[in-house]
Amino acid sequence: MCSKLTDLETCMQTMMAVFHKYACKDKDDKVFTLSNPELKELLSKELSGFVKGAADAEAVNKIMKKLDHDKDGEVNFQEFVVMVSSICIQCNDLLMAHIKQRK
C-alpha cells in the first residue's frame, strides 16, 4: 500500500481489514468468507449502533439469508460490501433528511 492514504482509501483499507479479521475466526479453511457465527460477531462488535438486532441470533440469520446472494451459506467480501454500502446509503439519507429539516 502507498505510504500516505487519503481518507477514502483508509476507509476502504479498514473495510478489508475488518472483514478479514472476522472471516478467519472459525477454525476451518474458509478464511476468506464469513460464516454465520463470524457475521454475528462482526455485527455485534462493529455495527451494533447501526444494525438492529446485531447480537440477536434470529436477526443475524435473517441478515445472513439476505446477504448471501450466491447461496453458499457464507458471506464473501462482495456480499459484505453490499451490506456496508446499503447501511452507508441509509445513514446518508437520514443525514440529508436531518439537514433539510433544520433549514
- Residue 5 and residue 2: Cα distance in Å, rounded? 6
- Choose one: 4-12, 26-34, 42-50, 86-94; the region binding Ca ion (CB under 5 A): 26-34
Q: Which is nearer to Ca ion, 65 or 92 (CB)?
A: 65
- Residue 38 and residue 19: Cα distance in Å, rounded? 10
- Residue 103 and residue 99: Cα distance in Å, rounded? 7
Q: What binding mask, one character per residue, do residues 71-90 give for Ca ion by CB under 5 A, x or -?
A: -x-x----------------
Nearest distance in Å: CB 21, Ca ion: 11
| Site for Ca ion contains 9 (CB under 5 A) | no
Q: What are phi and psi of 97, to 5 degrees?
A: -65, -40
